[in-house]
Amino acid sequence: MSATTAPAHPARKSNFSIGRILLEGRAFFALIAIIAVFSFLSPNYFTLSNFLIMSSQVAIYGILSIGMLLVILNGGIDLSVGSILALCGVVAGAMMQGVELDWAGVILYPPVWAVVVLTIAVGGAVGALNGVLISVFKVPPFVATLGVMYVARGVALLMTNGLTYNNLRGAPELGNTGFNWLGFNRIAGVPISVIVLATIAILAGLMLSRSAFGRWLYASGGNERAAELSGVPTRRVKITVYTISGALAAIAGLVLSSQLTSAGPTAGTTYELTAIAAVVIGGAALTGGRGTVRGTMLGAFVIGFLSAGLVIIGVSSYWQTVFTGAVIVLAVLMNSIQYGRGGRKS
């Protein structure tokens, strides 16, 4: 009797292990499948130049997604990142066009490094506003960031009167050239935007895995009350993650404006939804406390490579929306299976 039943246990364990590997590595396997399918459908897809072009486009979503991951790990949501991206792009464009001082009768043209620093500071300030509203005044994250989303977009429209700042390359005689460096230059053949994304991803990964702040973030996202009783400064953590999210949205806005050499108030529309989708596809739990930078990056590349592949094979933009939505729904379903039935996994 024992001889016939003994092999059943290893088989069940093996099946469980394979299923768990497929479930937890779904974003990676999805990306491999996307590359394989579109490489078969189009000879232009599987080329180094196309991968670099697609990666430079994914960089914007990826940078936003890292900030969104930090917020979701904290158990929140940030609907304002797309509007912060647009606002910061407009702020950078305004400075590149010249800051007119009526009282002095002069127009200042800040150097590009100053434009970058001030723009990131603006994004961080708007993000900090989200954090203060949520942590200090106890406004629900959805409501707070939704309100800031409309305010930031409205300010961007007011600043430009609905128009777009064009030709942001600067002029040598004004000392403000170099803005297009982020969008067009390459180092060893790799676009600067991809290098920026990789740098941010590495730093964020190290912060989450090697720092006290990372442990605080996972703890407060998993159970905020228990973390607070354990001495975690939950209010400071919350303000910090929203500030970082705003700053990263500003960096994404700089990259996008640099690639286009223009900045408009309508940029980044629905980008916040793409960032949330990338985080979900990457396996993070929307309830907080679970998720990784690696998974989020895979999620961003899944969305970016899928969209680019559909464009290359000539699929209608309407169907692109359908496919992307289906992928998001499937990712949420997989997350529900992983975290709902599989217990607490990290």
Per the domain annotation, does 141 fall within a domain? yes
219: left (phi over 0), alpha (psi -120 to 50) or beta: alpha
In a domain, 243, yes or no: yes
Q: How many structural domains comprise the chain? A: 1
Q: What is the 8-class DSSP label of residue 173?
A: G
Residues 6+ apart with CB under 8 A from 40: none
pTM of the model: 0.91
Contact 260, 64 (CB under 8 A): no
pLDDT digits (tens, 9 = 90+) for 81-137: 999 999 999 999 999 998 888 777 788 899 999 999 999 999 999 999 999 999 999
Q: Name residue 323's amino acid.
A: F
pLDDT at 1 over 80: no
Q: Is residue 8 part of a domain?
A: no
Of the candidates 274, 265, 244, the one whose C-alpha atom is nearest the C-alpha of residue 89 is 265
148 within 8 A of 130, measured Cβ to Cβ: yes
- Which of the 8 DSSP states describes residue 266? T
The reply to whether 31 falls in a domain is no
Q: For position 13, what pLDDT does the model report?
A: 47
- In angstroms, the CA 199 to CA 193 distance is 10
pLDDT tens readout for residues 213-240: 999 999 999 999 999 999 999 999 999 9
Is 108 a member of any domain?
Answer: yes
State the CATH number of the domain containing residue 128.
1.10.3470
Which has the higher per-residue pLDDT, 147 or 320? 147
Element (H, E) at 186: strand 186-187
Are the C-beta atoms of residues 99 and 118 closer than 8 Å to each other?
no
What's the confidence (pLDDT) of residue 324? 80
The answer to the question of residue 23 being in a domain is no
Q: What is the pLDDT of residues 300-334, one digit of tens each?
A: 999 999 999 999 999 988 888 888 888 888 888 88
DSSP state string for 103-167: TTTEEE---HHHHHHHHHHHHHHHHHHHHHHHHTS---HHHHHHHHHHHHHHHHHHHHTT--B--
Mean pLDDT of 292-302: 96
Q: Is residue 124 part of a domain?
A: yes
Distance CA 309, CA 209 (A): 34
> Does residue 4 lie within any of the structural domains?
no
Range of the domain at 103: 36-341
- Per the listing, tokens 């914007």 go with 60
Provide Rg for the chain, Cα atoms: 22
Per-residue pLDDT, 16: 52
d(CA 257, CA 267): 9
